[in-house]
Structure 1
Amino acid sequence: MEKNEKLAGLAFLLLLGGLGLAALFIVLFAELAEEVMEKELGQFDSSIIDSFGAIAGGTMDNVMFIITEMGSAWFLTVLSILILIVLGVKMKDKWGMLFFAIAVGGGSLLTLLLKNVYGRQRPSINAEIDAVGYSFPSGHSMGSLIFYGFVIYLVVRTHQRRWIQWLTVTLLGMLILLIGSSRIYLGAHFPSDVLAGYAAGLIWLILSLIALEWIQWHSRSPVPPVQALRKLLGPLYRTVRTKIPFFR
């Protein structure tokens, strides 16, 4: 029982750490949004856009078009349906299904909300690459990070072979970065839009995963979270109290 309490306490601390990480990205997103609204990132955006222009060409255009489609709404919707089928039919994971739907679907709604709140115009309008509407934050960047990030979580969480986990993290991590880069290359977004999309996506993904872990913890752990944390931090609190006069 004592071992279970210690493990539960450590898990609770990890959840708190996740909340702290989400708070950090909220601050980052707020700073980016403020600078975008005050038009202080013009030089930053222009320099990166110019560097992408230096590698532009017919072959690269085709490659970037394929990559950007892997973060498009229709593509992620098809893959999301497949993931839901796997979670429901093969894994019998009802909580995984629910929070995957919340993460992906809620992330899409959050993207639309943020775009309308900030109302930033795009560098260029091109319906062929899904570059219509407002620009900030990048929907492709935010959506791909949430979707592929959740897939990474599922692969790691289901204890696949170590090489499969590392390969998944590496390939999908690179794909997320490439999708964001493709949006800049194709003129659909400013670099600051992409950074904001990643920040907002991380916030929503972290909160979704924390909620999922919390629910799963309650459903399978015999140790209440608060009790586990009290057991874990109790010795530390007593040590601090005896050695630091302020806490006496």
Structure 2
Amino acid sequence: MDKNEKLAGLAFLLLLGGLGLASLFIVLFAELAEEVMEKEVGLFDNFVIQIVQASSSATVDTIMFVFTEMGSVWFLTLSSIIILLVLGVKMKDKWGVLFFIIAVGGGSLLTLLLKHLYLRERPSINEEIDAIGYSFPSGHSMGSLIFYGFVIYLVIRTRQQPWIQWPATAVLSLLIITIGTSRIYLGAHFPSDVLAGYIAGLIWLMLNLIALEWIQWHSKSPVPPVRALRQLLGPLYKIIRKKIPFFSK
């Protein structure tokens, strides 16, 4: 097996692993949704709310309001336009543009679908912080994870300098967490809503990135993916046939 076949086979295994991981998160989301519908997350929600709101003050209120706006529809929409311009004009990445639109736009539609599927009421209604409609899952949490997660992917994928890549990844990851925390602090969501938003957003983001990587790899790799996987697993299959009689029949 040559070097290209080994690399292609490993890449294919990583893609399969990503799909398996996404499947696990789907199961986790389904379990959490069931617990929420059966109202068995009250202790968890109340415990987290007490911790988050323990240091409440006028200054913290202002800070949390700023962070919650960074996960709002208007802010993510304007930021998405900038990302699309960078992808389309500067990087000329047509597949990146397509899957960014699918990830962010499709994520918004998925959020609405899930909200109207579970119909969970909010802890409080406040139009000033975009706390209207149903609560589960948190749209801010889901949208911010998809958007900022995609930006993290782009930072890593474009092989930026380490002094740019790692601080940017850390800051954006912290921003995602802080946006979700702000929704709990401001009373817009229950903690379980935020957790569900993160899980659902991660699932959707992973599926889009897996599809994007698959297309980009398939268009650039000189080795067909299925053949690469067969070449990679061939020696393992021969060992199994020798060790286990069932496979040698």
TM-score by length of 2: 0.98
Deviation at 1:163, TM superposition (A): 2.1
Q: Distance in 2 between matches of 1:212 and 1:94?
A: 11
Matching residue of 2:40: 40
Q: Distance in 2 between matches of 1:87 and 1:58?
A: 40
Unaligned runs of 5+ in 1: none
Unaligned runs of 5+ in 2: none
Matching residue of 1:24: 24
Q: Report the residue type matching 1:21 in the other structure.
A: L
* Residue 208 (structure 1) aligned with residue 215 (structure 2): no
Deviation at 1:247, TM superposition (A): 2.0
Q: Distance in 1 between matches of 2:24 and 2:168?
A: 26
* Residue 192 (structure 1) aligned with residue 192 (structure 2): yes
Matching residue of 2:150: 150
Trace 1:1-248 onto structure 2 (pairs within 5 A).
2-248=2-248
Deviation at 1:21, TM superposition (A): 0.9
Q: Distance in 1 between matches of 2:145 and 2:3?
A: 35
Deviation at 1:222, TM superposition (A): 1.2
Q: Deviations over 1:65-100 (max 9, x none)?
A: 000000001000000000000001100100000000
Deviation at 1:245, TM superposition (A): 2.2
SS in 2 for 1:167: helix
Q: Distance in 2 between matches of 1:166 and 1:9?
A: 28
SS in 1 for 2:101: helix
SS in 2 for 1:54: helix
Q: Distance in 2 between matches of 1:211 and 1:62?
A: 39
CA RMSD of aligned residues (A): 0.8
Q: Report the residue type matching 1:234 in the other structure.
A: G
Q: Report the residue type matching 2:184 in the other structure.
A: I
Deviation at 1:36, TM superposition (A): 0.2
Q: Distance in 2 between matches of 1:94 and 1:186?
A: 39
SS in 1 for 2:12: helix
Q: Report the residue type matching 1:37 in the other structure.
A: M
Q: Distance in 2 between matches of 1:75 and 1:54?
A: 28
Q: Distance in 2 between matches of 1:20 and 1:65?
A: 37
Q: Distance in 1 between matches of 2:51 and 2:155?
A: 35
SS in 1 for 2:55: coil
Q: Report the residue type matching 2:209 in the other structure.
A: L
TM-score by length of 1: 0.98
Q: Report the residue type matching 1:113 in the other structure.
A: L
Q: Report the residue type matching 2:77 in the other structure.
A: T
Q: Distance in 1 between matches of 2:47 and 2:185?
A: 12
Q: Percent identity?
A: 77
Q: Report the residue type matching 1:82 in the other structure.
A: I
Deviation at 1:32, TM superposition (A): 0.5
Deviation at 1:162, TM superposition (A): 1.6
Q: Distance in 1 between matches of 2:46 and 2:191?
A: 9
SS in 2 for 1:71: coil
- Number of matched residues? 248
